Chains A and B, each alone.
Chain A
């Protein structure tokens, strides 16, 4: 365990060196923006819109006391999306989608000696391969999460309209009430930490694959499991630190 942590930290120190060639780094970054970010927009949209709708409907069904105003539905949906659903659940989904992709891509490069080839050609492979992935994730995931929040709220609004449980005016009034900008900051901090975890842990597991295609498969599964567990763990810690 300690040995793994040490290896991980050593790899990080390799990753965070200045790239040898600026233009090469920028080109890799662009590739990763597409591969890790843009390609995830679809799944984020679908999951967010449905969850927003479901949260809104569940809240509406559960309010049966006339003392609780229906504006609570908009309020609750917003809080749920910003505080937990978008930053955490979407990050977990990205851990599955992006984490396995990173680990298997880098792992395959390891077992087919492409990483050795990079070293021979004077490249620091950890820096060349993993830094653009970490950077792209940390820049693009916040965009994805904001997008998820917006789409989720829109889904909630549509659900209320279609079901007729809450009026549009009530829902929007709820959305606007007791808004604390800090909740968004909290969501963004979580997103950044989770993005770093996903990209660096998956990169580490792929980079240290030893063997053949079976090990690449194992590394890719482990990347998802380990980063998911770390996400939930850091969710607890960050919530404790930032909100309580």
Chain B
């Protein structure tokens, strides 16, 4: 479980996150939703420690994280897997080397053990025989899956995914969502997902936090989100023809 307490983050005079407090639960897919610019990515980057917070506290299973110096953060980062918005695969490394990277950095496995683990993870995301290809040689959906494989290769306890299915066709998007939620359950991971895709929300939204202009506006799950009377949330949820039809 990750607890976020009263965090604030500003860039210059621009106050992006305002007193956000929430909890991300273990073994569940925790979704952060909100309009573009509402602060989802900033919130996630604060959780990972890529951005320093101005005020507040972030704890990973009761271990303080946000207050640690960069060097000490490494101990908890060992247990994190992160899927960045664009995949962020290292383009000078092959698929295999990408997935192996966290193992090289964090473990003392032998080369054979590492290769086994890499192949296992690639298989888990339904990719085989792509080990020697480079990121520039595979499709966008495959890149996302390789990035997921890399994120889970060191068996993380915490998984962060920033818009895992943006830019993908609905079918592939669903496959990715399913994959993430399966992995979450299978390994009892605390998973945090940024999204503005209503399909994902209704499919895997076990816990949903709605950010509105940098404030935590509403919390619930995929069942409660459709019949709330929160005006800003309704505007967000029923902004498309598809979801409007759903209400009727």
Contact = CB atoms under 8 A, between A and B. Distances in A.
A121 B102 contact: yes
A121 B106 contact: yes
Q: Is the interface of A mostly helix, strand, loop or mixed?
A: helix
Contact of B105 (A20, A109, A112, A116): A20
A241 B50 CA distance: 44
Contacts of B89: 114
B104 A24 contact: yes
Contact of A122 (B88, B91, B105): B105
B55 interface: no
Q: Is the interface of B mostly helix, strand, loop or mixed?
A: mixed
A108 B88 CA distance: 10
Contact of B77 (A112, A113, A114, A120): A120
A121 B80 CA distance: 8
Contacts of B50: 116, 119-120
B88 A123 contact: no
Interface string A114-152: 101101111100000000000000000000000000000
B228 to A, nearest CB: 33
Contacts of A3: none
A117 B88 contact: yes
B84 A122 contact: no
Contact of B88 (A20, A21, A112): A112
Contact of A21 (B82, B86, B92, B104): B104
Given A113-B84, A113-B85, A116-B84, A122 B77 contact: yes
A24 B48 CA distance: 24
B85 A114 contact: no
B78 interface: yes
B88 A121 contact: no
A184 to B, nearest CB: 36
Given A122-B74, A122-B78, A117 B105 contact: no
Nearest to B85: A113
A157 B7 CA distance: 72
Interface residues of A, number: 16
Contact of A112 (B45, B48, B86, B106): B86
Contacts of B80: 120
Interface string B63-83: 000000000001001101010
A116 to B, nearest CB: 5
A24 B104 CA distance: 8
Contacts of B86: 112-113
B225 to A, nearest CB: 29
A113 B106 CA distance: 20
Interface in A1-49: 20-21, 24, 31
Contacts of B77: 120-122
B101 interface: yes
A117 B82 contact: yes
B81 to A, nearest CB: 9
B90 interface: yes
B124 to A, nearest CB: 19
Nearest to A20: B105
A122 B85 contact: no
Nearest to A17: B71
Contacts of B102: 121
Contacts of B74: 122
Contacts of A114: 88-91
A101 B126 CA distance: 35
B90 A117 contact: yes
B103 to A, nearest CB: 10
Nearest to A117: B88
Contacts of A120: 48, 50, 77, 80, 82
B80 to A, nearest CB: 6
A113 B151 CA distance: 14
Nearest to B74: A122
24 contacts: A20-B105, A21-B105, A31-B92, A112-B86, A112-B91, A113-B84, A113-B85, A113-B88, A114-B89, A114-B91, A116-B50, A116-B84, A116-B88, A117-B84, A117-B88, A117-B90, A120-B50, A120-B77, A121-B102, A121-B105, A121-B106, A122-B74, A122-B78, A123-B105
Interface of B: 45, 48, 50, 74, 77-78, 80, 82, 84-86, 88-92, 101-102, 104-106
Given A113-B84, A117-B88, A117-B90, 5 more contacts: A112-B88, A113-B86, A114-B89, A114-B90, A114-B91
